[in-house]
Amino acid sequence: MTTQQLTQQIQQKKSFLCIGLDVDVTKIPQHLLELEDPIFEFNKAIIDATHDLCVSYKPNTAFYEAYGLKGWQSLEKTINYINQNHPEIFTIADAKRGDIGNTSSMYAKAFLEDLNFDSVTVAPYMGKDSVEPFLAFENKHTILLALTSNEGAFDFQTKLSGGKELYKTVIETSKTWKNSENLMYVVGATKAEYFTEIRKIVPDSFLLVPGVGAQGGSLQEVCKFGINSNVGLLINSSRGIIYASNGTDFARKAREEALKIKSEMEVILMKNN
Amino acid sequence: MTTQQLTQQIQQKKSFLCIGLDVDVTKIPQHLLELEDPIFEFNKAIIDATHDLCVSYKPNTAFYEAYGLKGWQSLEKTINYINQNHPEIFTIADAKRGDIGNTSSMYAKAFLEDLNFDSVTVAPYMGKDSVEPFLAFENKHTILLALTSNEGAFDFQTKLSGGKELYKTVIETSKTWKNSENLMYVVGATKAEYFTEIRKIVPDSFLLVPGVGAQGGSLQEVCKFGINSNVGLLINSSRGIIYASNGTDFARKAREEALKIKSEMEVILMKNN
């Protein structure tokens, strides 16, 4: 998917919501556990109930790997279901991978080609040759961890590195890499005051923003400092939407929560135009 | 496995060699491709031929994920084969994972509990709460990326952060984390001159050292600056051993290459005692 197609989808749906499919079988409705593939059935129901309200789905691979072979199968079925039924949706493999060059190529192939995700999250610690193999895929996107939404972000990411915070060095350096136009960045919503600084470095890039909702970030604050003329934001919510209820009404309740955020986004987009 | 058990194994085998099981089906002997699970059959033959010469096997998960479900199955079979037949071997899931706390817990469970690896490699960028979930497993080890063997290591890892290089900040900070006694560190062999500095910070910790052989690092140099009284080193070689031949003699040739390194290590250990 091109960035332009993503932007068009945002304008059409009046939403820049990304729903995190972080499925923990201990938290999903009990009645699903009787089915052959509870994780996929859960995702399918969530997708059926929300696909017109969001522009992106983001399964975090940890939640699938935790169930071994069966989990990997659920992930495959989920991405195939989205690609077949809702090809307009921007899909993100939240994998946070990164390795030496030839090894990163294997990860890139796995997520962007074989599983056919539109994008994958990547950790920057190993530098240029660990990220460029992901950037080589045309019309695919690499979402680089810049400033994450967790407490540990302050351990290294905000430490001064060459006179500026490491996350700024990461973003600035990444702009010099080959095919850097395929880069997006993870910036946590719990740190809204940093968006002004980040927009000075990457005014046009898309930012994937976790941490709204359960983790305490504010949608209004993030948009105030982070939105650009093409919107340029994908706001992720996981637990607040997918675990809105653990009864048989879970999909309907998930839709209600997604609709609340989508409506708030619609107002923001009207003001932004 | 405890660190003491690892050290005992090193003394008994007179080796601190780790063999990287990074299996690329385009590089393995053609005759294996006719079998049902070529990757596992390749690993099994390599393990059978080398287990008395090395103390550790390290499959890099990228090479398995690249083959989807089948690859994940080959990884499961490989770790089970090692655990059942050679329980003395220290196993490393070279996964370079790291995510926010509750998500890192899923990865930790997947690799350290379900697959039952002795250790897993973890990326430090997201800080304390992304690493501590791995450290919580008793008699398991978390191998933190400190200074990697690739060119991109110079992009961020060696940049000054608070007056010292980022990799030093990472190692020093990690020592304050809960259960930090379960930490080991990845330090690339291509940067032997850095070992002196690292040993000042973590004199007693085990260092996993990739980059000897195909990537150009020198075993002698690494040991000169990196060895401690408990050896404290695991030297990894992947391609140089497992792809020594792509004919029907591949396992025998792999053993020959492993034996060369092991013999060099035996001499080093004699001098070190």
Q: What is the bridge-based pairing of β-strands B164-165 and B160-161?
A: antiparallel
Instruction: Name the residue with tokens 């994008």.
Output: A119
CB contacts < 8 A (A, B): 176
Of B110, B115, B125, the CB nearest to A125: B125
Length of chain A: 273
pLDDT of B213 above 90:
no
pLDDT in tens, B4-14: 999 999 999 99
pLDDT of B216 above 80:
no
Region for A116 from its dihedrals, namely left if φ exceeds 0, alpha if ψ lies in -120 to 50, beta otherwise: left
Q: What is the DSSP letter of B200?
A: H
| Domains of chain B, start order | 3-272 (3.20.20.70)
CB within 8 Å of B98: residues ≥ 6 apart: A96, A123, B104, B122, B123, B124, B125, B126, B130, B131
> Whole-angstrom Cα distance, residue A53 to residue A209?
17
Q: How far apart are the first and last CA of chain B?
A: 24
pLDDT of B215 above 70:
no
The mean pLDDT of B192-208, rounded to a whole number, is 95
Inter-chain CB proximity A66 and B109 less than 8 Å: yes
Candidates A37, A109, A125, A164, partner chain B, best to mutate (most B CBs within 10 A): A125
**Residue A212: which of A246, A240, A232 has the closest Cα?**
A240
pLDDT in tens, B47-97: 999 999 999 999 999 999 999 999 999 999 999 999 999 999 999 999 999
Position B193 scores a pLDDT of 83
Q: How do the pLDDT tens digits run along chain A, 273 residues long?
A: 999 999 999 999 999 999 999 999 999 999 999 999 999 999 999 999 999 999 999 999 999 999 999 999 999 999 999 999 999 999 999 999 999 999 999 999 999 999 999 999 999 999 999 999 999 999 999 999 999 999 999 999 999 877 899 999 999 999 999 999 999 999 998 878 899 999 999 999 999 999 887 666 789 999 999 999 999 999 999 999 999 999 999 999 999 999 999 999 999 999 887
Inter-chain CB proximity B99 and A62 less than 8 Å: yes
Helix/strand/coil percent split, chain B, to 5: 50, 20, 30
Count CB atoms within 10 A of the CB of residue A34: 8
Q: Which residues of A carry out catalysis?
A: 96
User: Across all residues in chain B, what is the average pLDDT?
Assistant: 95
Task: Take residue A100 and report the two structure tokens written for it.
Answer: 């030496």
The three-state secondary structure class of B218 is: coil
pLDDT in tens, B96-149: 999 999 999 999 999 999 999 999 999 999 999 999 999 999 999 999 999 999
Please tell me which residue of chain A has the smallest CA distance to B215: A100
Position A74 scores a pLDDT of 98
Q: What is the bridge-based pairing of β-strands A56-58 and A90-97?
A: parallel
> Whole-angstrom Cα distance, residue A271 to residue A46?
29
| Shortest distance, CA A153 to any CA of chain B (angstroms) | 5
The mean pLDDT of B17-36, rounded to a whole number, is 96
> Whole-angstrom Cα distance, residue A18 to residue B18?
42
Position A214 scores a pLDDT of 64
Candidates A120, A121, A156, A178, partner chain B, best to mutate (most B CBs within 10 A): A156
Q: Which residues of B carry out catalysis?
A: 96
The percentage of chain B sitting over the pLDDT mark of 70, rounded to a whole number, equals 99
> Whole-angstrom Cα distance, residue A244 to residue B77?
38
Instruction: Name the residue with tokens 């070689």.
Output: B237
Chain A residue numbers touching B128 (CB-CB < 8 A): 151-152, 155
The three-state secondary structure class of B166 is: helix
CA B138 and chain centroid, separation: 19
Residues paired with A185 in a beta bridge: A144, A207
* Residue type (1 letter), B257: E
- Quick check: ipTM above 0.85? yes
Position A215 scores a pLDDT of 67
Position A162 scores a pLDDT of 74
Cα separations in angstroms, B251 against B45, B60, B155, B236: 6, 19, 38, 18
- Element (H or E) spanning B207, and its range? strand B207-209
Chain B residue numbers touching A130 (CB-CB < 8 A): 150, 152
Q: Are A222 and A272 in contact (CB under 8 A)?
A: no
Count CB atoms within 10 A of the CB of residue A103: 24
Task: Take residue B52 and report the two structure tokens written for it.
Answer: 């008395």
| Shortest distance, CA B43 to any CA of chain A (angstroms) | 18
Chain B residue numbers touching A65 (CB-CB < 8 A): 106-107, 110
> Whole-angstrom Cα distance, residue B125 to residue A148?
9
Inter-chain CB proximity B107 and A152 less than 8 Å: no
- Element (H or E) spanning B226, and its range? helix B219-226
Residues paired with B185 in a beta bridge: B144, B207
Residues paired with A209 in a beta bridge: A235
Please tell me which residue of chain A has the smallest CA distance to B211: A100
Q: Would you state the torsion angle of the CA atoms of residues B21, B24, B27, B28, taken in this order, to the nearest 10 degrees?
A: 60
DSSP string covering chain A: --HHHHHHHHHHHT--EEEE----TTTS-GGGGGSS-HHHHHHHHHHHHHTTT-SEEE-BHHHHHTTHHHHHHHHHHHHHHHHHH-TTSEEEEEEEE--SHHHHHHHHIIIIIIS--SEEEE--TT-HHHHHHHHTSTT-EEEEEEE-SSTTHHHHTTSEETTEEHHHHHHHHHTTSTTGGGEEEEE-GGGGGGHHHHHHH-SSS-EEE--BSTT-B-HHHHHHHH-BTTB-EEEEE-HHHHTS--STTHHHHHHHHHHHHHHHHHHHHHHH-
**Residue B102: which of A27, A127, A177, A194 has the closest Cα?**
A27
Inter-chain CB proximity A124 and B126 less than 8 Å: no
pLDDT in tens, B228-239: 999 999 999 999
Position B157 scores a pLDDT of 96
Q: Are A214 and A9 in contact (CB under 8 A)?
A: no
**Residue A227: which of A263, A190, A261, A187 has the closest Cα?**
A187
Q: Are A254 and A244 in contact (CB under 8 A)?
A: yes
> Whole-angstrom Cα distance, residue B154 to residue B156?
6
Q: What is the DSSP letter of B112?
A: I
- Element (H or E) spanning B40, and its range? helix B38-50
Band (B191; pLDDT cuts 50, 70, 90): confident
